[in-house]
Amino acid sequence: MERTHQNGTLSLKNVGEKVVLVGWVAKRRNLGSLIFIDLRDRSGIVQVLVKEGLDIPDVRNEYVVQVFGTVKEKDVENKNLKTGAIEVVADKIILINKSQTPPLIIDDVTDALEDTRLKYRYLDLRRPSMQQKLIQRAQIVKAFHTYLDANGFLEIETPLLTLSTPGGARDFLVPSRVHPGNFYALPQSPQIYKQLLMISGLEKYYQVARCFRDEDLRADRQPDFTQIDIETSFLDQDQLLAYMEGALAKVFLDVKGIKLPLPLRRLDYAEAVNTYGTDKPDTRFGLKLVDVKSIFVNSAYEGFKTAASIKAIVIPGVASTSSRKTLDELNLIAHKYHLKSVTPLKVEAGVLTGSFAKLVSSSESHKLFETLSLKNDDLVIFAASANNTDVCFALGAIRTFYARQLNLIKPETFDLLWVVHFPLFEKNDNGQLVSAHHPFTRPCDEDLKYLDTDPSRVYAYAFDIVINGYEAGGGSLRIYDHDVQYKIFQVLGYTEADIQRKFGYFIDAFNYGTPPHGGLAFGLDRLAMILTGTDNIRDVIAFPKNLASVCPLTKAPSPVDQQQLDDLSIAIVKKE
């Protein structure tokens, strides 16, 4: 089909040229003697002028047409349109295809609910704002390709049908027809394979990798997602992070036109948690946590006297507008982090007020004013518990809540930093020891002695890249010693049989000269979400699942034919 230009590329330099355009009718305005058509393709919109007397087909919104015409300078420029200085005077319009009335408004702003948008995703993706997000996502991938290829990394694919192994989430299982009763698993990440590639001597690997995790969804999580997956040999942590910073600098420059100041800042995990209340801090605003345990060692309040950790956060200028409803919201946040409540105090006329104020001695009050630099109309929120992490994470969530409420974050700004030196282990909700990252993470050399006596004291060569309060990627140096890897499995409670069945082939490979190695995976979906300025990860995925892990477009997951189940020797058993 003939086409001379993309619509959004036309400008004053094309005035007088004959052009042939194609696209969708975004809008038609009939002014009697004149008809104006906004013609949209991926590059943008251009106005087409149809003069009186030209015979054209009946065209409506979302009809596909071909336009033959001449570029003309407009009498009055439309500054809201990239092509607003010109228009195309039509000589002929050919109707290519018709459209029913769309179930949603196809424009940057739409009134459709998200499930409607996902059900008619092919229409939702016609919206210029959605196309721009996918274009920027593609630019991110291109920048990674360009940088990694130039620095000697090899793009290597790893299997999508693999062995089920213990991980941070449940595996998606794929039954084998050829081997009845046996299953492949879809990879939660290419972790083991990329380490095997290092053992193979390939030294620098990367992959735009599809990953699958059968876990409960959150706003920024999908069951199938994409990583920019990277692994290297013979680099220490500083060298590896320098490579990764270079990749990010390339992405930010190519996609956003922003030159990142390198090297990026690094925060120790403990500092991040104790100062910002999270292991993925947004440092574009203040509201830091302050340890006030020493002030309340002789507190009249039993909950403070016996607490192992007491921290406070000061929200300036909100005391007078803080209602009971607001304080109830803070307690709901605290509940998510295993705290019954938080304790608020207001500063009014130079004194502390609130139901808790009567339990604060004059000495404690004086120290609080001094330590927290309190001023009138400040709201002080205290959290106390036997568990310091719960205290920090609760106040960290409250810190973020107020940052959004008070518009403390400047739009279109980017805050990048590394969080390093994570604990190797953590405890799950059942009190069991689990890997904070994964069981292949290398313990810090100085902490190896604690593996037998106190694993909670072991820290790791692990690191996360944090952008605007989101974990945009994470990685670590890997264990490359057979005995250390075996020991980690044992600490995690794997039996000899478990280790051999799940990891035997991997452990065996360690016997054949494993190099020191490490790597990182950037979450492509989340990185695209951050750079495109949306807070919805589904906006940067062409065909995402909803929060119920369902695709409204295809209705997947869905039942299959009985014959398919019979071929796989599978019977469906309903749970009671």
Residue 227's identity, in one-letter code, is: Q
Same domain, 14 and 82: yes
Q: Tell whether 468 and 513 lie within a shared domain.
A: yes
Co-location of 442 and 399 in the same domain: no
CB within 8 A of 176, min separation 6: which ones?
Answer: 182, 183, 184, 568
- Classify residue 335: in a domain, yes or no: yes
Asked if 369 and 301 touch (Cβ cutoff 8 Å), the reply is no
Res 219: pLDDT: 64
Write down the pLDDT at residue 166.
65
State the Cα–Cα distance between residues 309 and 453, nearest whole angstrom. Answer: 25
Q: What pLDDT does residue 62 have?
A: 98
Q: Where are the beta strands (DSSP E) in 213-277?
A: 224-233, 265-268
Q: Classify residue 118: in a domain, yes or no.
A: no
Q: Is residue 70 situated within a structural domain?
A: yes
Domain boundary pick from 382, 405, 428: 405
Residues 436 and 526 in one domain: yes
Q: How far are the Cα atoms of 19, 115, 298 from residue 381, in angstroms, in the given order?
A: 65, 38, 19
Angle, CA of 190, 195 and 196, to the nearest 5°: 100
Say if 73 falls within a structural domain: yes
The burial class, CB within 10 Å (0-12 / 13-18 / 19+), for 258 is middle
Q: What pLDDT is attached to residue 544? A: 96
The rounded distance, in Å, linking the Cα atoms of 352 and 346 is: 6
Helix 496-509 / helix 482-491 crossing angle, nearest 10 deg: 150
Q: What is the pLDDT of residue 430?
A: 82
Rounded Cα gap, residues 287 and 311, in angstroms: 12
Are residues 244 and 290 both part of a single domain? no
The residues, any chain, with a CB within 8 Å of residue 46's CB and separated by 6 or more, are 7, 8, 10, 21, 38, 39, 83, 86, 87, 88
Residue 375 is encoded by which pair of tokens?
Answer: 């001023």
Q: Could you tell me if 427 and 527 lie in one domain?
A: yes
Whether 506 and 531 share a structural domain: yes
> Both 355 and 429 in a single domain?
no
What pLDDT score does 427 carry? 85
The CATH number assigned to the domain holding 12 equals: 2.40.50.140
**Per-residue pLDDT, 221:** 83
* Total number of residues shown for the chain: 576
Domain boundary among 405, 434, 451: 405
- What three-state secondary structure class fits 22? strand
For residues 525 and 544, is the Cβ–Cβ distance under 8 A? Answer: no
Together in a domain, 421 and 303: no
For residue 544, tell me if it sits in a domain: yes
Residue ending a domain, choose from 355, 386, 405: 405
Element housing 86 (H / E): strand 86-97
Domain-embedded: residue 42: yes
Backbone angles phi, psi at 96, to 5 degrees: -95, -40
Does 320 share its domain with 258?
Answer: no
Asked whether residue 303 is assigned to any structural domain, the reply reads: yes
pTM: 0.93
Q: Which of 523, 429, 464 is nearest to 222 (CA)?
A: 523
Number of structural domains in the chain: 3
Mark whether 157 and 190 lie in a shared domain. yes
Q: What is the CATH number of the domain that holds 194?
A: 3.30.930.10
Separation CA 230–CA 194 (nearest Å): 8
- Max Cα-Cα span within the chain: 92
Tokens found for residue 13: 């330099």
**One domain for residues 480 and 546:** yes
Alpha-carbon distance values, 400 to 238, 282, 288, 324 (Å): 30, 8, 11, 19
Neighbouring residues of 123: CB distance < 8 A, sequence distance ≥ 6: 62, 102, 103, 104, 106
Query: Has residue 570 been placed in a domain?
Result: no
Query: Vertex 148, ends 260 and 518: CA angle to 5°?
Result: 90
Q: What is the domain extent for residue 466?
A: 130-268+415-562
Rounded to an integer, what distance in angstroms lies between the CA atom of residue 434 and that of residue 468? Answer: 28
CATH code, domain carrying 307: 3.30.1360.30
pLDDT along the chain (576 residues), means of 10: 96 97 97 94 97 94 98 94 97 98 95 95 97 98 98 98 81 95 95 97 98 80 95 97 98 97 97 98 97 94 91 96 88 94 94 93 96 97 95 97 94 95 90 90 96 94 98 97 93 90 90 96 97 95 94 95 94 86
Nearest partner of 95 among 186, 147, 28, 175, judged by Cα: 28
